[in-house]
């Protein structure tokens, strides 16, 4: 079954240089369609830089990356249209209401008014948000904001959604509810590309890559990684890898 899986992200020798500093040193990997791919690494390992190239907002110095069938360098506009993106730092406008945010983000992805209306209804039913469409996003608890931001990133039904530390700072229950949303989306066939500092979340991924100093040091299923390093948790895998390099 593995062999016939369609590859939705193909990265070959991807490199990014800033002056004399190489942030990403010729990484190669692929992501299968519909999988939850964990992209881990220490602060400053080059995760964010690599992710920025994959979502088409930063040009690679060398190498190629194909996302959803488009080249990130030459077809970045097509790439952007086919992906969703949610980051911990920016997700939605705090001073706009829930409805206004949805309308705005639907609008920039070219959804019609009718589509936006049905999407809003779906979303509210799915997240059990009740009657908060007129509440300003800034007044919502962080957990709700993040769930909402995730749904908004999916408004235009992208093939891949990139999540940059989506669960930072939320309570353990909300964090798990968030992952249930991710599973549900993954079951619909959407590919999930996610970064996190919570190592237990790494266990929830189909496959995990660990980046150290601009290089992917390990890439496999959590189970195989644990076997490979002869440890019991992803946290230990991570500590072992990063320690060895230092």
Q: What is the DSSP letter of 92?
A: S
Q: Which of residues 88-107 bind other proteins (CB under 8 A)?
A: 88
Q: What is the largest CA-CA distance in the chain?
A: 55
User: If binding is defined by CB under 8 A, does position 126 make contact with other proteins?
Assistant: no
Least gap, CB of 112 to other proteins (angstroms): 32
Least gap, CB of 135 to other proteins (angstroms): 13
3-state secondary structure of 214: coil
**Angle (CA) 34 238 11, round 5°:** 40
In angstroms, the Cα distances linking 185 to 32, 35, 73, 156, 191 are: 15, 10, 28, 13, 8
User: If binding is defined by CB under 8 A, does position 220 make contact with other proteins?
Assistant: no
- Quick one: 81 or 197, whose CB is closer to other proteins? 197
User: If binding is defined by CB under 8 A, does position 186 make contact with other proteins?
Assistant: yes
Rounded CA Rg of the chain: 18
Least gap, CB of 173 to other proteins (angstroms): 5
Instruction: Say if residue 188 is exposed, middle or buried (CB neighbours under 10 Å; 0-12, 13-18, 19+).
Output: exposed
For 227-240, the DSSP string reads HHHT-SSHHHHHHH
3-state secondary structure of 133: coil
Which residue bears the tokens 């990403």? 24
Residue of the chain from 142, 181, 215, 231 that contacts other proteins (CB under 8 A): 142
Residue of the chain from 130, 187, 189, 230 that contacts other proteins (CB under 8 A): 187
User: For residues 227 and 85, what is the distance between their CA atoms, to the nearest angstrom?
Assistant: 32
Least gap, CB of 4 to other proteins (angstroms): 19
Residue of the chain from 183, 188, 224, 227 that contacts other proteins (CB under 8 A): 183
Residue of the chain from 169, 224, 227, 228 that contacts other proteins (CB under 8 A): 169
Stretch near other proteins under the rule CB under 8 A, chosen from 1-9, 100-108, 124-132, 236-244: 236-244
Least gap, CB of 55 to other proteins (angstroms): 20
Query: What is the helix (H) or strand (E) element at residue 16, kind and residue range?
Result: strand 7-18
User: If binding is defined by CB under 8 A, does position 199 make contact with other proteins?
Assistant: yes
Which residue bears the tokens 């946290």? 235
- Cβ pair 178, 170 in contact under 8 A: yes
User: If binding is defined by CB under 8 A, does position 35 make contact with other proteins?
Assistant: no
Tokens of 100: 């206004």
Task: Provide the mask over 39-68, with x wherever binding to other proteins is found by CB under 8 A and - wherever it is not.
Answer: --xxxxx-----------------------
User: If binding is defined by CB under 8 A, does position 168 make contact with other proteins?
Assistant: yes
| Residue ranges binding other proteins (CB under 8 A) | 41-45, 88, 141-143, 165, 168-174, 176, 179-180, 183, 186-187, 197-200, 203-204, 222-223, 233-235, 238-239, 242-243
């Amino acid at each position: 079954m593995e062999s016939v899986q369609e590859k939705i992200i193909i990265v070959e020798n991807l490199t990014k240089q800033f002056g004399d500093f190489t942030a990403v040193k010729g990484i190669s990997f692929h992501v299968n369609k519909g999988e939850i791919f964990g992209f881990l690494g220490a602060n400053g390992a080059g995760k964010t830089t690599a992710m920025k190239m994959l979502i088409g907002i930063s040009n690679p110095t060398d190498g190629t990356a194909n996302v959803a069938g488009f080249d990130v360098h030459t077809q970045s506009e097509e790439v952007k249209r086919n992906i969703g993106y949610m980051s911990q730092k920016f997700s939605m406008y705090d001073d706009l209401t829930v409805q206004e945010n949805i309308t705005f983000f639907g609008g920039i992805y070219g959804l019609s008014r009718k589509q936006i209306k049905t999407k809003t209804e779906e979303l509210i039913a799915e997240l059990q948000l009740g009657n908060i469409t007129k509440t300003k996003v800034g007044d919502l608890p962080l957990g709700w904001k993040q769930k909402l931001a995730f749904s908004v990133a999916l408004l235009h039904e992208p093939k891949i959604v990139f999540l940059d530390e989506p669960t930072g700072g939320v309570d353990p229950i909300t964090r798990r509810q968030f992952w249930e949303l991710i599973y549900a989306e993954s079951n619909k066939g959407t590919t999930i590309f996610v970064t996190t500092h919570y190592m237990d979340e790494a266990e929830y991924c189909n496959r995990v890559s660990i980046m150290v100093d601009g290089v992917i040091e390990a890439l496999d299923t959590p189970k195989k990684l644990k076997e490979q390093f002869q440890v019991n948790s992803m946290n230990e895998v991570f500590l072992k890898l990063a320690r060895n390099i230092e």
